[in-house]
Amino acid sequence: MPKTTRTAQCTPDQARVRFATAEAYLEVAAAVLNERPAGEYRNVAGGVAILAGIAASDAICGLRLGRLHRGDDHRGAVDLIRSVTKDGPKLAAQLQRLLTLKDAAHYGMILISARNATDAMKWATFLVQRATEESER
């Protein structure tokens, strides 16, 4: 049986809401990481950065395709964004990296490393910047 990605329609206005949400998540993640860079705050900053990357990916797909991923497994979004633009494989790689940290940051019983938290910020920032470009097209 072929793998299918569950999607939902997304208007340009809805995609812009996802973009604004991505920006807000990224701003909060940066504030947490700058203000409280240790302990459980790394998980919070990393987790919110991951949400920023997911929202940015939704915005890009919504603006380009009029659709976004809707399913239990966010990894379907990786497949969807890969096909959206010329740099889709790079976008997909950044999103995939974020998703590999998702369980640890959101549900883990062990704190993520400072490196993982800053990497999550870097990857999410890349996706939000790309979503910014798409929203200005």
Return mean pLDDT, the chain.
92
- Kindly list the domain boundaries of the chain, sorted by start residue: 9-131
Q: What is the pLDDT of residue 137?
A: 84
Specify the DSSP class assigned to residue 111: P
Q: What is the pLDDT of residue 2?
A: 43
HEC string of the chain equals CCCCCCEEECCHHHHHHHHHHHHHHHHHHHHHHHHCCCCHHHHHHHHHHHHHHHHHHHHHHHHHHCEEECCCCCHHHHHHHHCCCCCHHHHHHHHHHHHHHHHHHHHCCCCCCHHHHHHHHHHHHHHHHHHHHHHCC
Amino acid of residue 54 = I
Q: What is the pTM of this model?
A: 0.93
Interval 73-123: pLDDT, tens: 777 899 999 999 999 999 999 999 999 999 999 998 999 999 999 999 999
Give the residue among 123, 7, 127 at the shortest CA–CA distance from 65: 7
Give the residue among 37, 74, 40 at the shortest CA–CA distance from 55: 74
Q: What is the pLDDT of residue 90?
A: 97
Task: Say if strands 7-9 and 67-69 run parallel, antiparallel, or are unpaired.
Answer: antiparallel
Q: What is the pLDDT of residue 3?
A: 52
* Token code pair at residue 103: 């369980």
* Cβ-proximal residues to 134 (8 Å cutoff; 6+ apart), any chain: 19, 59, 60, 63, 64
Q: What is the pLDDT of residue 74?
A: 76
Q: What is the pLDDT of residue 5?
A: 64
pLDDT at residue 1 above 50?
Answer: no
Q: What is the pLDDT of residue 55?
A: 97
Interval 14-68: pLDDT, tens: 999 999 999 999 999 999 999 998 889 999 999 999 999 999 999 999 999 999 8
Return d(Cα 65, Cα 68) in angstroms, integer: 8
Query: What is the CATH topology of the domain spanning 9-131?
Result: Four Helix Bundle (Hemerythrin (Met), subunit A) (1.20.120)
